[in-house]
Amino acid sequence: MTFEISELVARFAGVDIGSTTAKAVVMDEEGSIKCCILPIGARSVEAGEKALKAALDDPNNNTNDVRYVVATGYGRVLAPFANETVTEITCHALGAWHVMPATRTVVDLGGQDAKAISLDQNGKVIDFVINDKCAAGTGRFLEFAAKLVLDVPLEEMGALSLTATAPVKISSTCTVFAQTEIVSLLAYGAKKEDILAGLHRGIAKRVGALAKHVGVKPIVLMTGGVSKNIGVRKALEEELGIKVVVPESMDPQLIGALGASLIARNHALRERPSVG
């Protein structure tokens, strides 16, 4: 189903269907937004549509006033409700530049991949690199280590790691081997905070290599769910030798969906017939 144009108040939507969450941003002509983040569950496309309807904040799920929908993320090509699909690189770049126009480097750490993007002063992509072949350095990796091995709530990992006094080195870059290494470290008496600090440093090293590949220039903006982990942010700052910031005006997980909504608005307004 594609949402049709109507004569109601115009709204435009971006839906980012990722590996672990579906994000939606609905924007009107003035730039005011409503948004939603939902877990993917078993059906990613359904989660994307549910997120969109939730962001519309309409008890009747009325989508008739949505003039244009852009889908991005892993599940974008399977989204029947979208008028257009756009890569997450383009959407993250535009979303990051919109919330902070001085951004020149974007580091996005999602549930299943890591991206580094270099921008020019107009928010255009100069270069990018993406690692979606290995889970190490992603949200899945951290969630696995936190819940299944260390028994630490995911939201507490960052702050706990900052209390480390003797961070250990996690040499394994594979999730399975890292699990074995962590279990061994715990058996030898290593503290959880020291192991977490080691995990964060390992992630920062791998992600930092991506950022260095595209060229690190300030401002470095970090997006994605992992950006909420202050331990990873601090470790990345140490690795890059430069301050890393996160969006203040909105949830960093919404940056891709925001970029998609901006593309949707620009497309719809550009094609709108003039009056007179």
At 9, the pLDDT band (50, 70, 90 cuts) reads low
Question: How many helices (H) and strands (E) in the chain?
Answer: 8, 10
Q: Could you read off the pLDDT of 92-150 as tens digits, one per residue?
A: 999 999 999 999 999 998 877 889 999 999 989 999 999 866 656 667 778 777 776 78
- Fill in the amino acid letter for 132: D
Report the C-alpha gap between 124 and 200 in whole angstroms: 30
In the sheet where 66-72 sits, what is the strand order?
A: 33-39, 21-28, 11-17, 66-72, 84-85
What's the full length of the chain, in residues? Answer: 276
What is the model's pLDDT at position 119? 96
Q: Could you read off the pLDDT of 166-214 as tens digits, one per residue?
A: 999 887 666 677 778 888 998 999 999 999 999 899 889 989 999 999 9
Degrees to nearest 5, angle at CA 114 with 194 and 134: 80
Higher pLDDT, 110 or 16: 16
The yes-or-no verdict on residue 276 having pLDDT over 60 is no
At 3, the pLDDT band (50, 70, 90 cuts) reads very low
Residue whose C-alpha is closest to residue 73's, from 62, 82, 65: 82
Domains of the chain with CATH codes: 11-92+254-271 (3.30.420.40), 101-246 (3.30.420.40)
What is the model's pLDDT at position 2? 39
Mean pLDDT over each residue of the chain, to the nearest integer? 86
- What's the pTM? 0.88
Q: What is the mean pLDDT of residues 26-38?
A: 91
